[in-house]
Structure 1
């Protein structure tokens, strides 16, 4: 029995990888759309609260004088900015969490064994054939060689994917 060449194995896994990538992209698109809706709703709420705070500041300013109003307005803008940033941070963290959950769910699919084998092969390419490879609790693998290691866990790969999409994620915050 002959062992297929690494190129044949890689070619054989191409449809699996392509399918996983398509599914991952579709999941990310869904998550981005959901995150965009949630972020827009939270931003709308933060803006409404900011308007309410500003309206209150204006009313107080008329009663207490222009200096006091200016102080309230500065605090209201700071508070509104803080709430906006908090809403963005929460939406981004939710996107990271949901992306990691969806990727970890790959462990329960029929294609996971092929994906794990491909990750092991990738680790050996990066660290050499003597690399010690172990299963990560979240799925995927971690590999070690003297003085080096590589984390190809599903969670880390999901985080890297979201990080690479940072520009697209930032567009969620634009009005």
Structure 2
């Protein structure tokens, strides 16, 4: 006598085989989908890393450019300050040297000649008086000619113009 179990055995085996085939197919599809998901995630991660790297490099370059510009401005400021200091020192030395002319025996003749030059420049009616620091100042209505030794020294330095740059040129 064939039992139900014996009769259903081939059907059960066929169903089990089909279930295994279906399970293998589902597992294969799941593995392929998982592989695609992992590959997509890797591509996305790589793109994010590349974008972040480019952005980081751009920000670093911007910071570096700003730092270079700051350094150039600071260096230029120091250079200009040094030039001003050298020019101020030159002015001081020239003024001191010109004021030393007061001790020269020819100083009275220099005062006389400066007075003549002041009148020639501003008019014969100017009143000429000796300046306390040396030299003369001539004044008249609406006019003033400063031939003090300090003013003459300042004009001499200013007249150097671009030539004064030789002081700090290599």
Q: TM-score range by the shorter chain?
A: 0.5 to 0.7
Distance in 1 of aligned mates of 2:164 and 2:80: 14
Structure 1 pair 107–66 and aligned structure 2 pair: CA distance change class (3 A): same
Unpaired runs of 5+ residues, structure 1, are 1-61
Q: Which residue of 1 aligns with 2:97?
A: 102
> Which digits, 9 at most, give the CA deviation of each residue in 1:20-70, with x for residues without a partner?
xxxxxxxxxxxxxxxxxxxxxxxxxxxxxxxxxxxxxxxxxx9x9333222
Partner residue, 1:77: 72
In our comparison, the structure showing a higher alpha carbon Rg is 2
| Distance across 1 between alignment mates of 2:86 and 2:93 | 10
Aligned to 2:133: 138
Cα distance in structure 2, aligned partners of 1:133 and 1:156: 15
Residue aligned with 1:110, SS: coil
RCO comparison, higher one (Cα < 8 Å, 6+): 1
Give the match for residue 164 of structure 1: 159
Distance 2:80 2:117 in 1: 38
- Alignment partners' CA distance in 2, 1:143 and 1:123: 6
Q: Is 1:118 equivalent to 2:120 in the alignment?
A: no
**Correspondences of 1:1-175 after superposition (within 5 Å):** 65-175=60-170
- Gaps spanning 5+ residues in structure 2: where? 1-56
Q: Distance in 2 between matches of 1:66 and 1:128?
A: 66
TM-score normalised according to structure 2 size? 0.60
Count of aligned positions? 113
1:117, distance to aligned residue in structure 2 (A): 1.0
TM-score by length of 1: 0.59
Cα distance in structure 1, aligned partners of 2:149 and 2:114: 10
**Deviation for aligned residue 1:83:** 0.4
Secondary structure of the 2:147 match is: strand
Q: Distance in 1 between matches of 2:96 and 2:73?
A: 34
Stretches (4+) displaced over 4 A: none
Q: Output the CA distance in 2 between the equivalents of 1:166 and 1:132.
A: 32
Q: Following the alignment from structure 2 to structure 1, what is the Cα–Cα distance between the partners of residues 163 and 62?
A: 42
Give the aligned CA root-mean-square deviation in angstroms: 2.0
Give the whole-Å Cα distance in 2 for the aligned partners of 1:80 and 1:171.
Answer: 19
